[in-house]
Amino acid sequence: MSPTVRKRRLGAELRRLRIDSGMTGGQVAQRLLISQPKISRLENGHCAISPRDVRDLCALYGVTDQQVLGSLMRMAEESAQQGWWNAYGDIPYSVYIGLETDARSIHCFAPMVIPGLLQTPAYARTVIEETIPPVTTEQASNRLKVRLRRQHRIYDPADQLRLSVILDESTLRRVVGGPGLMREQLEHLNALSTEPHITVQVLPYAAGALPGVAGQFSILSFADTLEAEVVYLEGSTSDLYLEKRSDLEHYELIHAHLQARALSPDHTRRFVSTIMGTYGGATP
């Protein structure tokens, strides 16, 4: 289990204990002389929870069972460990990587570029190098290594990630790095789409307007029933992680709507092959 998921689970358990004690977040903050936003961040798993924080909160909530306290303290210690991606320096969307590492399945909509898990090394390198603001050579190298390491999840037979991707047609027609690179990327996409745990569908221009869709999103589900689903919205300067049931239902509805209007997986492969032919070489 990644440190990110451990923090989320610990935060959820502390939230449950607070609610059982009848206290509000504001009351807890006042009693412990800390800010209410910190209580929210702790309970949402958005910041590290120290064993001392756990001890103080459990004392306030009247937790006397030493087994429960010991379990929560160990969870706090484990959540402070670093994920494998931390070895590569300051990587954007590191919280998302932690969630992705433990996800059982991901359903996503990509309106601009091929998602990272399905990118070839050359396509990924080009996308990373064109990041705004520009990155150094070292940063680009580290981000590429992380992106390719993330892809291990879709190749590991013991822990395969179920992936369902809906691509807007523009992701196939937007030339990233030149025609040859695009052809290679689309060949790779078609090959991956034949795997039983990977579903790729294209939403063609002919599908028309897309009401309710503001941009790229991913819905992550977890094998552990204690972990709620999470909707990830990638932003230019900050990311959003939505966990409210109403938000999840909203994006699940949008995804189902897009899926119904997208081409079938078999039709998608033929469609991708047709576009592949526009990038040169013999059409498959």
Domain ranges of the chain: 3-81, 89-277
Which CATH topology does 3-81 take?
434 Repressor (Amino-terminal Domain) (1.10.260)
pLDDT value of position 177? 95
Neighbours of 240 (CB within 10 A): 11
Q: Please give the average per-residue pLDDT across 264-278, as a whole number.
A: 97
Contact status, residue 169 vs residue 189, Cβ threshold 8 Å:
no
Amino acid at 207: A
Whose tokens are 């291990």? That residue is: 152
Contact criterion met (CB below 8 Å) for 61 and 52: no
Q: Which of 136-140, 157-161, 188-192 has the lowest mean pLDDT?
A: 157-161
Mean per-residue pLDDT over the chain, rounded: 90
When pLDDT is averaged across residues 214-224 and rounded to a whole number, the result is 88
Q: What is the pLDDT of residues 14-44, one digit of tens each?
A: 988 999 999 999 999 899 888 888 898 888 8
Strand stretches in 205-261, DSSP E? 217-222, 230-233, 240-242
- Is the pLDDT confidence value at 226 over 70? no
Spatial distance between the Cα atoms of 101 and 230, rounded to a whole number of angstroms: 13
Please determine, for residue 283, whether its predicted confidence score (pLDDT) is greater than 50: no
Q: What is the CATH number of domain 89-277?
A: 3.30.870
Instruction: Give me the mean pLDDT over the 185-213 stretch.
Output: 93
